[in-house]
Structure 1
């Protein structure tokens, strides 16, 4: 039997800026592409504070998960890219509020400058 990969394109997220889907569903998993601090209407939050950018990114991840039939409580792994490791404590606080009781595996990767000068990007894997 051939496995099917189903792309997810939520109406309430800005269109992807490249050749990818916001998420895909395959073999009972949801794979969420790296989400940037881009508002649903397409506005890039480049000048926003780290906290505002983080909230938007986490909102985008949640929207993609829900559109794929999943949710925060079904997260398996989260990868976080930060422009500076000094932003880790603030990210961790906001992430803990967002994730609630969910405690998926997680990696924090300090990267230096991100695309468009953003400060944070998050990708995730969850159960469908």
Structure 2
């Protein structure tokens, strides 16, 4: 099938820190770029800890997904990149709170560093809409 491709950075989301769009969609398939816990209203991290940053990332995901007619229930897989695996419990607690009952597949990876100064983690996701 030949799917029309669309890339965008929706209003109400943080400015990308590099030459990329937050959302890429082709047909029913949606990819959301690596996202740090930046509050789009201030341009600053939502807080210094993994809990606050996780809540902000997922809030940003909601806006990004809505821009292409999707929501968190459409998420198939989430990648989490943690600077410190000791943040896993705090990230997990915020993730459960923000995601609700939906439990997509997920991978958590410890990384040495992240491009956004002060970020404790980033996440990206894959989603699908339609049938």
Q: Distance between the aligned counterparts of 1:118 and 1:102, measured in 2?
A: 25
The alignment partner of 2:15 has SS state of coil
Task: Give the aligned partner of residue 114 of structure 1.
Answer: 114
**8 A Cα contact 2:52 2:94, kept in partner:** no
**8 A Cα contact 1:80 1:121, kept in partner:** yes
- Displacement after TM superposition at 1:24 (Å): 1.0
1:8 paired with 2:8, answer yes
Unpaired segments ≥5 residues, structure 2: none
Q: Distance between the aligned counterparts of 1:6 and 1:35, measured in 2?
A: 18
Task: Give the aligned partner of residue 86 of structure 2.
Answer: 86
**8 A Cα contact 2:48 2:118, kept in partner:** no
More displaced, 38-47 or 99-108? 38-47
More displaced, 6-15 or 103-112? 6-15
Task: Give the aligned partner of residue 40 of structure 2.
Answer: 40
Query: What is the TM-score of this pair, normalised by structure 1?
Result: 0.90
Task: Give the aligned partner of residue 29 of structure 1.
Answer: 29
**8 A Cα contact 1:46 1:118, kept in partner:** no
Q: Distance between the aligned counterparts of 1:46 and 1:97, measured in 2?
A: 16
What is the number of equivalent residue pairs in this alignment?
A: 128
Deviation above 6 Å: which 4+ runs of structure 1? Answer: none
Query: What is the TM-score of this pair, normalised by structure 2?
Result: 0.88
Unpaired segments ≥5 residues, structure 1: none
- Displacement after TM superposition at 1:99 (Å): 1.1
The alignment partner of 1:70 has SS state of coil
**8 A Cα contact 2:53 2:120, kept in partner:** yes
More displaced, 113-122 or 37-46? 37-46
